[in-house]
Amino acid sequence: MFKGPGLMLRISLQHFAQHDTAFMITSSEPDEHGHWGKFGGRYIPETLVAPLEELTTEFMRARTDEKFSRQFNVLLRDYAGRPTPLFYAQRLTAQAGGAQIYLKREDLLHTGAHKINNAIGQALLAQRMGKARIIAETGAGQHGVATATVCALLGLRCVIYMGAEDVRRQALNVFRMRLLGANVITVNAGTRTLKDAINEALRDWVTNVHDTYYLLGSALGPHPYPLMVREFQSVIGREAREQILAATGKLPCALVACVGGGSNAIGLFHPFIADEGVRLIGVEAGGCGDSLGKHAARFHSGTQSGGGRVGVLQGTMSYVLQDANGQIATTHSISAGLDYSAIGPEHAYLHDGGRAEYLQATDAEALEGLRLCAKLEGIIPALETAHAIVPAIKVASELSPEDAIIVNVSGRGDKDVQLVADLQRT
Amino acid sequence: MSRIQETFRKLKRARRGGFIPFITVGDPDLATTERLLIELANSGADIIELGVPFSDPVADGEVIQRASERALRNGVTVQDALRCARNVTRRIDVPLVLFSYFNPLLQFGEERLALAASRAGIDAVLVTDLIPEEAGSWIQNLCRHRLDPIFLVAPTTSDKRLTQIAQQARGFIYAVSRAGVTGERDRMTRDAEILVRRIRSLSDLPVAVGFGISTAEQVTGVWRFADAAVIGSAIVREIEKLSHSPDPMKCVGEFVRSLIPPVQLSAFQ
- Backbone dihedral angles phi then psi of residue B221, each to the nearest 5 degrees: -60, -45
Instruction: Output the pLDDT for position A8.
Output: 35
Instruction: Output the pLDDT for position A405.
Output: 98
Q: Which residue of A has its CA nearest to B177?
A: A47
Q: Do A190 and B131 touch (CB under 8 A)?
A: no
Helices and strands, counts by H and E, chain B: 12, 8
Say what the pTM is: 0.94
CB contact at 8 A, A280 and A266: no
How far is B101 from B56, CA to CA, in rounded Å? 9
For the stretch A284-313, pLDDT in tens is: 999 999 999 999 999 987 656 578 999 999
Q: Do B179 and A44 touch (CB under 8 A)?
A: no
For the stretch A239-279, pLDDT in tens is: 999 999 999 999 999 999 999 999 999 999 999 999 999 99
Q: Do B156 and A190 touch (CB under 8 A)?
A: no
Instruction: Output the pLDDT for position A22.
Output: 44
Set of chain A residues whose Cβ sits within 8 Å of the Cβ of B179: 47, 206-210
Under the banding of pLDDT at 50, 70 and 90, the label for residue A65 is very high
Q: Do A206 and B181 touch (CB under 8 A)?
A: yes
Does the active-site annotation cover B60? yes
Q: Is the pLDDT of residue A85 over 70?
A: yes
Q: Do B58 and A314 touch (CB under 8 A)?
A: yes
Instruction: Output the pLDDT for position A300.
Output: 87
Q: Give the residue from A89, A87, A80, A92 showing the smallest Cα distance to A104.
A: A87
Instruction: Output the pLDDT for position A5.
Output: 39
How far is A366 from A389, CA to CA, in rounded Å? 7
Q: How far is B58 from chain A (nearest CA, A)?
A: 5
Whole-Å CA distances, A196 to A48, A193, A315, A328, B206: 18, 6, 14, 11, 36
CB contact at 8 A, A198 and A314: yes
Q: What is the pLDDT along chain B (269 residues), one digit of tens a residue?
A: 899 999 999 999 999 999 999 999 999 999 999 999 999 999 999 999 999 999 999 999 999 999 999 999 999 999 999 999 999 999 999 999 999 999 999 999 999 999 999 999 999 999 999 999 999 999 999 999 999 999 999 999 999 999 999 999 999 999 999 989 999 888 778 999 999 999 999 999 999 999 999 999 999 999 999 999 999 999 999 999 876 777 888 899 999 999 999 865 544 44
State whether residue A302 is helix, strand or coil.
Answer: coil
How far is A301 from A305, CA to CA, in rounded Å? 7
Give the catalytic positions of A in this structure.
115, 137, 410
For the stretch A94-123, pLDDT in tens is: 999 999 999 999 999 999 999 999 999 999
For the stretch B229-260, pLDDT in tens is: 999 999 999 999 876 777 888 899 999 999 99
Which residues, including other chains, have CB under 8 Å from residue A329's CB and lie 6 or more apart?
A: A292, A293, A321, A322, A323, A341
CB contact at 8 A, A346 and A358: no
Under the banding of pLDDT at 50, 70 and 90, the label for residue A23 is low
N-terminal to C-terminal alpha carbon distance within chain A? 49
Q: Do B104 and A327 touch (CB under 8 A)?
A: yes
Q: Which of A44, A312, A316, A319 to mutate to test the interface with B (most CBs of B within 10 A)?
A: A312
For the stretch A205-232, pLDDT in tens is: 999 999 999 999 999 999 999 999 999 9
Q: Do B131 and A325 touch (CB under 8 A)?
A: no
How far is B239 from B258, CA to CA, in rounded Å? 15
DSSP string, B38-72: HHHHHTT-SSEEEEPP-S--TT--HHHHHHHHHHH
Q: Which residue of B has its CA nearest to A196?
A: B56
Q: Which residue(s) pair with A126 in the sheet?
A: none
Q: Do A46 and B154 touch (CB under 8 A)?
A: yes
Q: How far is A373 from chain B (nearest CA, A)?
A: 37
Which residues, including other chains, have CB under 8 Å from residue A381's CB and lie 6 or more apart?
A: A107, A369, A370, A373, A374, A389, A409, A410, A411, A412, A413
Q: Domain coordinates of chain B in residue numbers?
A: 3-258
Mean pLDDT along residues A23-38: 85
Instruction: Output the pLDDT for position A206.
Output: 94
N-terminal to C-terminal alpha carbon distance within chain B? 22
DSSP string, B16-43: --EEEEEEETTSS-HHHHHHHHHHHHHT
How far is A84 from B193, CA to CA, in rounded Å? 55
CA A43 distance to own-chain centroid: 21
Q: How far is A52 from chain B (nearest CA, A)?
A: 11
* Per-residue three-class SS string for A47-90: HHHHHHHHHHHHHHHHHCCHHHHHHHHHHHHHHHCCCCCEEECH
For the stretch A33-45, pLDDT in tens is: 999 999 999 999 9
Option in B103, B152, B181 nearest A322 (CB):
B103
Q: How far is B133 from chain A (nearest CA, A)?
A: 8
Angle (deg, nearest 10), helices A225-233 and A345-352: 80
CB contact at 8 A, B222 and B229: yes
Instruction: Output the pLDDT for position B262.
Output: 81
Whole-Å CA distances, A244 to A18, A105, A122, A270, B243: 32, 13, 28, 15, 65
- Backbone dihedral angles phi then psi of residue B48, each to the nearest 5 degrees: -125, 135
Say if strands B96-100 and A157-163 run parallel, antiparallel, or are unpaired.
unpaired
Option in A50, A314, A325 nearest B77 (CB):
A325
Residue of higher predicted confidence among A18 and A180:
A180
Q: Is residue A234 exposed (0-12), middle (13-18) or buried (19+ Cβ within 10 Å)?
A: buried
The residues of A whose Cβ lies within 8 A of any Cβ of B are 33, 41-51, 189-190, 195, 199, 202-203, 206-210, 309, 311-315, 320, 322, 324-328
CATH for B3-258 is 3.20.20.70
CB contact at 8 A, B175 and B208: yes
| Cis, bond preceding A391 (omega within 30 deg of 0) | no
Q: How many CB pairs under 8 A join A and B?
A: 110
Q: Do B180 and A325 touch (CB under 8 A)?
A: no
Q: How far is B54 from chain A (nearest CA, A)?
A: 6
Instruction: Output the pLDDT for position A16.
Output: 39
Q: Is the pLDDT of residue A2 over 60?
A: no
Set of chain B residues whose Cβ sits within 8 Å of the Cβ of A203: 58-59, 61, 181
Whole-Å CA distances, A253 to A101, A264, A402, B2: 10, 19, 10, 61
